[in-house]
Amino acid sequence: MATRINKYLSEVGYCSRRVADRLIEEGKVTINGKIPEIGTKVEKGDKVKVEGQRIEKSTKQKNIYLAFNKPVGVVCTTDRGVEPDNIIDFIKYPTRIFPIGRLDKPSEGLIFLTNDGNIVNKILRARNNHEKEYIVRVNRAINRDFIQRMSNGVEILDSITKNCFVKQLGPNKFKIILTQGLNRQIRRMCDSLGYRVQSLKRVRIMNIKLDVPTGKYREFTKEELLELNGLLENSSKTFD
């Protein structure tokens, strides 16, 4: 059965669909020696290459799910040209994996890596309302007004952020739980209210908590993966 090229690259564990679309747009993907358009389908027997490397499905591929504690300074990209800061070269995992979503370079904490393209969009899509928890420290004292305004939505990127849970943990420290993932969302929310983020750490994604030292990773436990699959059961795989 024919498969869209971005889905094909996702299913074989090469990259996420979004990254696949970017590679196609950049002319780095070929099907039978020809550069495809986004939406082109791969038929049985077609030869798919990315930057000249043959990409094939493996019936023996084992799904990999890693929880990684990203340090500040590491870039969440599979682009090996980002030296020496890209996440793939930092981890040096023996088989091809890619990050689910991202944490910006100045941020740290939990990020998932996998070779299972089917799970990526289910986790990332905002409509699925999957929680991500962060601990944030800002440059000056916060108060009840700051907590309420952050909780009730802040205007950034020509939109209002969704209501979220925010709790003060110290004079200039708070916990925030988001179910959306706008670009640099927390930093932009704080900037909008006149604060500057000094440190930002993600400590939970859905049911998976950060419990490994900085720069280390571990595989999901069987129990975590079972619970995660249950949370994802009714989630959509496509983007808005």
Active site residues: 104
- 64 vs 76: CA distance, rounded Å: 17
- Is 36:24 a contact under the CB 8 Å cutoff? yes
- Is 211:113 a contact under the CB 8 Å cutoff? no
- Is 206:65 a contact under the CB 8 Å cutoff? no
Backbone angles phi, psi at 131, to 5 degrees: -80, 140
Give the CA angle between residues 240, 210, 108 to the nearest 5°: 75
